[in-house]
Structures are given as structure tokens and as C-alpha cells.
Amino acid sequence: MYLKSIEIKGFKSFADKVEVEFTKGITAIVGPNGSGKSNICDAIRWVLGEQSAKTLRGSKMEDVIFSGTENRRPLNFAEVSLIIDNSDNILPIEYNEVKITRRLYRSGESEYLINNTACRLKDIYELLMDTGIGVDGYSIIGQGKVEEILSSKPEDRRLVFEEATGITKFKNRKIEAERK
């Protein structure tokens, strides 16, 4: 399983549709200050279900929608898709390629899709749980995260290991079952 590509349209500085392809192994994104490198990381976090505007370096969720420039009008919605190679069937879904999409309109309406079919955010969380890819997984190590893992309380650090060993899913199901 690996990230094959990301499609971005109307998200932050990416007004036109942009597709960034990744290959197995290491990909480095380079560019001048302000050219959109961090915006690509924000887009990945966002499509995985990030709900905190602050984590995405904004003050409200609408800030992720292209807000226009001197000679370009703002857009009405942002859309990001991640295309994940699943030929090793690590994701519990019978597709060799999985496309996860999130869309947000200025009206506040939002949509999530798996392989172009509308779904709940919960379905995306469940699909990615225990794979390390989810928004709370360890696949995105932002600035300061290494320090956080090293210096956090043992209980917090335990969550990282639970995700890595695949127990998070069962723990969540237990919590849900107890609630019913």
C-alpha cells in the first residue's frame, strides 16, 4: 500500500486542478517559500478528515478554499482526492486502487467519497484505522511531532503504539459497544 497520487482543486493556493504523482520510495517536494509545499501536506491531512482549522494553519475551515488573488476570483469549493495503491489488500476493501475524496463548499456543505461513492467520514476513519495512514496515524509527522512522541506522557505515547500494532480498531469497537 502506498500513496500513488493526490489531486487538488480549489484547495488553498491551488486554484487549477493539480495532480502530484508519487512513486514507491522517497519523494521530496522542493520549491521557493510560499510556493505551496506545506499546502500539499495540509491537503493530505484534510482529505483524511482533519477537523481542526488550526492544524491546517487557518482560523476557520472555509480558509482552505482558494480565496482569490489580484487577478483571479475566489472559488466556491475545494476538492482533494488521494489515490492509494491497495494491490496488497492492506485496506479492507476489494479494490486495488482506492480513491478518497473530500469536498467543501463555501455554504458549509461538505462531502466525503470512497471510489466516487458518497460516504460518511466515519467510513473513511474505519477504512484507514490501524493502517497508520489516518489523520491520527503516524504517517504524517509534522514539525514538532517527533519531539511530542519522545516527550509525551506514557499514556499518549501508548496511543502511537496501539495504532501501529493494529489495536485501535478493536478498542474503538469496544467503546462503541459499551455506549449502546
Which parts of this chain interact with Mg ion (CB under 5 A)? 38
Residues 62-101, one symbol each (x = binds ligand ATP by CB under 6 A, - = not), give -x-xxx----------------------------------
Stated as kind and residue range, the H or E segment containing 178 is: helix 168-179
By CB under 6 A, residue 151 contacts ligand ATP: no
- Name which of Mg ion, ligand ATP, none residue 132 binds, using a CB cut-off of 5 to 8 Å depending on partner kind: none
Site for ligand ATP in 36-65 (CB under 6 A): 36-39, 63, 65
Alpha-carbon Rg for the chain, nearest whole angstrom, is 17
Give the residue, chosen from 25, 26, 30, 33, that forms a contact with ligand ATP under the rule CB under 6 A: 33
By CB under 6 A, residue 144 contacts ligand ATP: no
By CB under 6 A, residue 108 contacts ligand ATP: no
- Name which of ligand ATP, Mg ion, none residue 34 binds, using a CB cut-off of 5 to 8 Å depending on partner kind: ligand ATP
DSSP of 41-87, one letter per residue? Answer: HHHHHHHTT---TTTTTSSSGGGGB---BTTBPPPSEEEEEEEEE-T
Sheet bearing 18-21, strands edge to edge: 18-21, 2-9, 77-85, 97-105, 110-114, 117-119
By CB under 6 A, residue 31 contacts ligand ATP: yes
Angle between helix axes 168-179 and 154-165 (nearest 10 degrees) is 100
Q: Which of 62, 161, 60 is nearest to 104 (CA)?
A: 62
Part of the chain binding ligand ATP (CB under 6 A), chosen from 33-41, 47-55, 108-116, 125-133: 33-41
Residues forming the site for ligand ATP (CB under 6 A)? 12-13, 31, 33-39, 63, 65-67
Residues contributing to the annotated binding site for ATP: 32-39
